Amino acid sequence: MSYSNEIIENVKYLRTTNANEAETRKKVIDLILEEVLGWSSRDIAYEEKIQEDGSTKYADYIISNANYSLLVEAKRINIGFKLPQSAQPRLNKAFVKEDVGSAIIQARDYCRQKSIPFAMVTNGDQWIIFPACRTDGVSFEESTAIIFDSIEDVLINRNEYFKSLVSRKGFLEENLKIELLGRTIDQIEDRRLNKFFKGTSSNLNPVYPFIESEITLAFSDSLITTDAELLEKCYVSNSDRQKFDQKIQMHLQKKEAIFSKNIIRPLRPKESKLFNKKIEGTSQLNRPLAILLLGSVGSGKSTFLEYTYKVASQSFFSGGHEYNPQWIKIDFRNYSAQENSLDFIYNNIFEIITDENYPFNDNEKVILKAYHQEIEALKKGPLALFGSKEEIQKKIAEKIYNDYQNKKPYIDKLLKFYSSKSPVFVVIDNVDQFESEEVQSTIFSNSIAFAGKLNINLIIAMRESTYINHRNSPTFDAFDFDPILIEPPEISSVISKRFTLAEQLLQGKKCSFTSLNGAKFDVNNLADFISLTKSSVLGTEIGNRIDVLANHDVRLALRMTREFLANGYTDPAKAINFHQTGKPYKLPPHEAFRSILLGNRSVYDESYSVIGNPLDSKLNQNNSELLRLFILAGLVRQYSLNSSVFITAEDIKNALAEIGFKENIVLQVLKDLCEKRFIHTKSHKIADMQSSFYPSRLGGHVIKVLLGDLAFIENILMDTFISDNEIWHNLKQLSEQVSYERSNIVKRLKIRIERVQTFYTYMQKLYSPLLEQAKIRNLETIWLTNPLEEAQKDLYANCERAITRATQNYG
């Protein structure tokens, strides 16, 4: 006999025997919950204590996972519920009355005591499901219930619908939320502090306007426009090959190799000259060179290309030959997706080669020789009819000029001729500025066809992920590329060289500015300011933070350093005075870190910051708010123990499904963690359910360092959703006090710290259900970590130190 038949027979029998509640539960309700709906004893809390009006009562069943919960109130089978005709009635007085009303109100009140959103009332035969504790402003009386009016309705007539709502699988899919509330999100109000408080205005370093142009040049991510001498001073030729971070005790993983064959890595000492040899050996090749220059975002591909041309192979390109090799670079950063990519290539080349000083503009040496064969054919053919030499020359000039105006035939002629005399390199850079695979594919195919038609050397620079997305396309299959991998250089070396350049640029420059106390302050040599800033960054906590936050992205590291120089000094007069008198000066790390986090904004907002918020998954769901933190903590734990195992999306999905989260939520969080650079996929591809993951160094520092950092927590709390009413009003009130308190620095700091600790305690409370459910369901040990608890000691110690320092400095 099936469970359904057994339960139906039990109901019939219990009706005739006037069975009590205990028998009803044992012979009907327990079987339905466990055998029909698939809940196990780990999912159900039985007879949980509820304190109400000084008395102790007990909830019959509370079914829960980490996402949401359902209270089940059982009644004996012979308490008949008087039900309306509608299967989905309003919970108004017309329905909520007599025995059924008492049961519904009792369940609702229990739910409100325990903050449980849904309730189900049953006598074993009739089942009523309804929203008991709403946070969306809809009243209980305006809410709708779902009624199953008999055991046959539950187990036969509408069994699939019943299971879709309250089975374990239906819970995972959040069907009950959709059916009763019309949505799965529950963060309706605007409850982020940065929507109400804009903080103090970001104070620009008063020295910065006097050094801005030099800093912009020295810390530009586009040194490609500068001269060779400047490029050589700033270029870093060694890669970052760190494999273990001692501070956080975590193995640093790398993505899987793209090519099975050996790939040249020019930033490694033994391979530093191999690319130059390839370039300079093209004269002896029977076929043109085709090179794929690959690297991650901000790894320095463009800088490497420019360095190769202007410095490393400079003698090859300007060797005093009759026809020197040519380097024609086309940067797709200026390309519009509405343009034809082949036209863009031709227009850029035309602009370059028609410059009056460009070698192709030599009429005798290049242009006429390029057209020689066609001119001779015209003379023997159509132009032979013209007797006058002047007329022939005029027609030839018209022909060349018409080609010049049409651009393409003119460029084809000149490039084809010149490449027969000397190597010509067309360099295609930044092809992946557009995420559209169709646009990228068109650029690749047009570039390859262009180079193949004219028999010229082609270099295409792109991200590794872009190549992965296109490597099986016919375009790449048909072309034999030599791969070159640009590994990210050491961030500290890059920053050091840029500071040195800034010092040189500012040597001897003077300025006067108004200091923090209102006095005029003169600086005789602004290079001194750069010198003291350099000493505050290199080899210090600030420099390490820039390195970690950049996560191998040189472009981002340079941007953070510029923002730190612009906003990181509140009192440069004091710093310069200390430096000039030979006293050591240490820039407060929290000031520098805050300026890096905020940039030119006055309050933290993830959308504008260099670092994402690990304490808000931005899914508009309270119970999934800390999923970023939960998943990241698990990955960091894994790589603190073992560096050889990648964690798959399937592993993560299964673990999260156990505690109550469906696949699309998990995948969205994984994608966000990758976008925020907290984790990476093993394969270079965008995260999907076939991906494997590992934490970045940044992700490791978030879990093991930044969660205990006062400046970090104080800033990210401003962009974290607060669902608890009491906590929200408390944090708002504390934020108002921070805004109003200006005169007493120590008092203001104590209010700020109280706000941080209130927020942190709330985050711990919010994380607790995730951890509890992971333990209940015996997940692997990597998922049983509590990063907030582990970081609390450091955070509170930092708070104490901050108050001590403030008291010493300000009384």
CA–CA dist 199, 187 (Å, integer)? 24
Distance of alpha carbon 366 from the chain centroid:
51
pLDDT tens per residue across span 333-359? 888 878 899 999 999 999 999 988 888
Residue 631 has pLDDT above 70, yes or no: yes
Distances (CA, A) of 770 to 172, 764, 792: 15, 10, 18
Give the per-residue pLDDT at 478. 52
When pLDDT is cut at 50, 70 and 90, the band that residue 224 belongs to is low
The pair of structure tokens assigned to 644 is 């050889």
Which positions ≥6 away from 181 have C-beta within 8 Å? 131, 134, 136
Cα 587 to Cα 206, 537, 549, 568, 807: the distances in Å are 16, 9, 19, 9, 18
Q: What is the pLDDT of residue 152?
A: 95
Most distant CA pair in the chain: distance in Å?
125
Distance (Å, whole) CA 469 – CA 186 = 37
Are the C-beta atoms of 27 and 12 separated by less than 8 Å? no
Is pLDDT at 124 greater than 90 in this prediction? Answer: yes
Tell me the per-residue pLDDT of 259-276, one tens digit each, with 9 for 90 and over. Answer: 666 788 888 778 778 888
Place 142 in a pLDDT band, splitting at 50, 70 and 90.
Answer: very high
CB 239 within 8 A of CB 265: yes
Does residue 54 carry a pLDDT above 80?
no
| Buried-exposed string 158-178: b where 16+ CB fall within 10 A, e elsewhere | beebbbbbbbbebbbbbbbbe
664-693, pLDDT tens digit by residue?
999 999 999 999 999 999 888 889 999 999
> pLDDT tens digits for 60-107?
999 999 998 999 999 999 888 999 989 999 999 999 999 999 999 999
* CA 721, chain centre distance (Å): 19
pLDDT band at residue 385 using 50, 70 and 90 as cut-offs? low
The H-or-E segment that residue 800 falls in is helix 787-810
Average pLDDT over residues 775-791: 95
pLDDT value of residue 109: 93
Q: What does the alpha-carbon distance between residue 678 and residue 69 come to, in Å, rounded to a whole number?
A: 30
The domain segmentation of the chain, as residue ranges, is: 3-181, 208-215+490-577, 259-356+418-485, 608-810
- Res 387 pLDDT > 50: yes
The CATH architecture annotation of domain 3-181 reads Alpha-Beta Complex (3.90)
Fold of 259-356+418-485: Rossmann fold (3.40.50)
Distance of CA 573 to the CA centre of its chain: 37
Name the pLDDT band for 753 (thresholds 50, 70, 90). very high
| 241: pLDDT strictly greater than 70 | no
List the 482-485 sheet strands across, edge first.
326-331, 424-429, 457-463, 290-295, 482-485
Closest-CA residue to 586 (of 599, 571, 566, 596):
571
Amino acid letter, 711: A
Cβ pair 276, 308 in contact under 8 A: yes
Q: What CA–CA distance (Å, rounded) separates 557 from 610?
A: 10
Write down the pLDDT at residue 713: 97
| pLDDT at residue 1, as a whole number | 47
Q: Say what the pLDDT of residue 587 is.
A: 76
What average pLDDT does the segment 233-238 reach?
A: 80
Q: Tell me the C-alpha distance between 75 and 526, whole Å.
A: 82
Band the pLDDT of 202: cuts 50, 70, 90.
low
- pLDDT-derived band at 770, boundaries 50, 70, 90: very high
d(CA 165, CA 72): 14
* Straight-line distance from the first to the last Cα atom of the chain, in angstroms, rounded to the nearest whole number: 81
Residue 386 exposed, middle or buried by CB count within 10 Å (0-12, 13-18, 19+): middle
| Residues 6 or more apart in contact with residue 441 via CB below 8 angstroms | 470, 473, 475
Looking at residue 479, what is its pLDDT?
59
Strand partners, 70: 63, 118
**pLDDT band (50, 70, 90) for residue 225:** low
Locate 717 and state its tokens: 């709390």
pLDDT of residue 201: 53
CA–CA separation, 540 vs 683, rounded Å?
34
The confidence band for 285, taking pLDDT boundaries of 50, 70 and 90, is: low
For residues 648 and 437, which has the higher predicted lDDT (pLDDT)?
648
Are 116 and 71 within 8 A, CB to CB? yes
User: The pTM is what?
Assistant: 0.87
Rounded CA separation 392/380 (Å): 11
- What single-letter DSSP state applies at residue 781? G
Q: Which ranges of 676-786 would DSSP assign to H, the alpha helix? A: 697-704, 710-716, 725-740, 745-776
Helix (H) or strand (E) holding 575: helix 572-580
